[in-house]
Structure 1
């Protein structure tokens, strides 16, 4: 990994970060759901491309390893806030999803005692994020529970919740695996002296 900051993948992650407030404004302000869907799709494409381009163009960087997951977390949080405010997802869901990140954040002090600031991202985390990036546009397309149903909104809601349940399950399962990795690291690695 290089120390480079100005790379194509990092620019894509930065664009994704800039789209977070745009998405929230579109969903909560004028409720322009079609444009919000476009923003979600662009976010998903840039999430896929930044990792692929980083590897294929040999532009992996330390800042990119931080920027990409941070952009993912901010976008997921923004979508959860927006969809909860619009009554598209229930409050319990809005709590359970970010709670996993709070849980993992609490593990960082333990990692630091062994000289680590984070663990490498594994496939489960990527699969969970991908599933949620499919779920959120479908949930938005499905609309709030009180809106008049249509065939498209009904199908979008069903598939959206299917991806949501799968994504949240993988998200938490990945979190538990991270906790197991931290525990294993704590028992097999010497404490770093500061």
Structure 2
């Protein structure tokens, strides 16, 4: 257990805090701040892990899981209160769950995974911007989210191609 892993685990605890603030206190803007805090801990834990060579197998598994669960929590919350359409939320849900189960499959099968690439990190930033736009009801918020969802499927395909290539290299 090291500082990056503690920060990653803290993101799991931010999920119920987000839900409490969003649904029970009905402070969407404060909930968005909790969501941003989760994003900042993701940036900080990754930076510390790489800079100080504190990358662990546990961190490699839990970090993307924490990110995906927080993103799903925000998307499903926005869906429940009617701020985003079912179709868009369904696509995000499908993608995130697909990525989670793919990671589990690769891990169980002993397959190599690859770190998030610039496209994947860009997708995360774009999702944060989309959720900000929806929270503050900015113009074209749903259109932007729809663009981000389409972009996320493209980046997922690129990621899966990279994983496949990395595992073919192991076979040689």
Query: Which range, TM-score by smaller chain?
Result: 0.7 to 0.9
Check the 8 A contact 1:128/1:167 in 2, yes or no. Answer: yes
Select between 67-76 and 28-37 the one with higher mean Cα deviation: 28-37
- Pairwise CA RMSD: 2.6
Question: 1:158-173, aligned counterparts within 5 Å?
Answer: 158=140, 160-161=141-142, 163-173=144-154
Structure 2 unaligned regions, length at least 5: none
TM-score by length of 2: 0.83
Structure 1 unaligned regions, length at least 5: 143-155
d(CA) in 1 for partners of 2:52, 2:70: 25
Deviation digits for residues 41-90 of structure 1, max 9, x if unmatched? 21221121111122223322221112211110010110011000010111
Select between 7-16 and 164-173 the one with higher mean Cα deviation: 164-173
Equivalenced residues, count: 171
Report which of the two structures shows the higher radius of gyration computed on alpha carbons. Answer: 1
Question: 1:1-194, aligned counterparts within 5 Å?
Answer: 5=1, 7-104=2-99, 105-106=101-102, 109=105, 115-116=110-111, 118-142=113-137, 156-158=138-140, 160-161=141-142, 163-184=144-165, 189-190=170-171
Taking structure 1 as reference, are residues 66 and 173 closer, same or farther at Cα in structure 2, changes over 3 Å only?
same
d(CA) in 1 for partners of 2:103, 2:67: 19
TM-score by length of 1: 0.75
d(CA) in 2 for partners of 1:129, 1:138: 14
